[in-house]
Structure 1
Amino acid sequence: MGTAERSGTPADEGATEVAAPAAPQAPVRDIPAAGPEVRAEPRAEPRADERPPGYRPLWREEPARRRRLPDPVRTAAVRAVLVVAVTLIMAMVAFLCTLAESWLAFPMVLGSVAGTVVATWGVLDVWVTRQVWNQRHGVVSVPSSTARAMRRERRRARRQARAAERGGQGRIGRRGGAGQLSHP
């Protein structure tokens, strides 16, 4: 539908006007149309086969790419982001106060330095909290993990070493001689 059709005015001289609907439209999501009180039942989302042609949903559900952070790690991350944001604001105010030659510049610079120390602590807190959580609750092993590939190589090397060791001794056979426990 073009702009001319929406507004009801012709786009050029030969076009005809679009008539406005005479009756009020059906209620949408429990909002009644103009006129007497109309009570409508909430409409469920139409199934894929019932949707009108040209229907496009507003959004499409997609699976999450990564798992959600554990609660303690997420809490530490939020705290660190807030501290970093406040520190950046203090640094900006200190810079602007310095440009304006305000008496507030020196205290703001001191506050920015202290905020930088606290922000560094906050970022390290996120890292340490994540490491502690991983150590206590274990890490989900991923097939592409380098640690898994290295373990696999070490196992293969041990197997080959044992096979080579056995190959030098040869199989225990039923030969006569000393050390034989039973008679043939």
Structure 2
Amino acid sequence: MDTEERRSPVSTGSGARIPRQPLWVEEPAIRWRMPDPVRTAAVRAVLIMSLTIIQAMVALLCTITGSWLAFPMLLSSVGSTVVATWSVLDVWVTRQVWNQRHGVVSVPSSSARQLRRERRAARRTARAAERERARIRRRGASSLSRA
């Protein structure tokens, strides 16, 4: 098959051309992507936790074999467990801080959304009333000048 034949749309025996189907169809994401700082903290936590698990396995295997490395590995595993716990807490704190700085998560049951909606409606009503008062004042001033 020639290169040009591969690039062109598929043809049937009758001469009609059928357009090629795309390789994949993009579907919208079900969940929103995590913010960058939270995702960074989560990746860091996963890496630290996986290294801690590997270290604990090495400590266990060294203990089983009776190696001199068992005790130092046990001590470093305990330290790594503390660091892994700290990193998981860091993900949680980073997520809370991000939510606090960038507003609440807007979900239909969010009370903040309802409060914002009520405040907007009150501001809209106040602006409409102010425009109406200004219009009445202008009309009243112009009727006084005619008399």
Deviating above 6 A after TM superposition, structure 1's stretches of 4 or more consecutive aligned residues are none
**RMSD, aligned CA:** 3.0
Query: For structure 2, which runs of at least 5 residues remain unmatched after alignment?
Result: 11-16, 119-147
Aligned equivalents of 1:95, 1:51: Cα separation in 2: 60
For residues 129-182 of structure 1, the C-alpha deviation after alignment (integer angstroms, 9 at most, x for no partner) is 000000000123211x26479x79xx9xxxxxxxxxxxxxxxxxxxxxxxxxxx
| TM-score normalized by the length of structure 1 | 0.51
Q: How many residues align?
A: 110
**Do structure 1's residue 111 and structure 2's residue 80 form an aligned pair?**
no
- Are the structure 2 counterparts of residues 58 and 42 from structure 1 closer, same or farther at C-alpha, using a change threshold of 3 Å? closer
Aligned equivalents of 2:95, 2:8: Cα separation in 1: 42
| TM-score normalized by the length of structure 2 | 0.63
Q: How far off is 1:68 after superposition? A: 1.0
Query: For structure 1, which runs of at least 5 residues remain unmatched after alignment?
Result: 1-24, 28-39, 156-184
**Do structure 1's residue 97 and structure 2's residue 62 form an aligned pair?**
yes
Q: How far off is 1:66 after superposition? A: 1.0
**Do structure 1's residue 87 and structure 2's residue 52 form an aligned pair?**
yes
Q: Which has the higher contact order (CA 8 A, sep 6+)?
A: 2
Aligned equivalents of 1:111, 1:45: Cα separation in 2: 62
The aligned counterpart of 1:26 is 2
* Letter paired with 1:50: I
The aligned counterpart of 1:74 is 39
Q: Provide the identity percentage.
A: 65
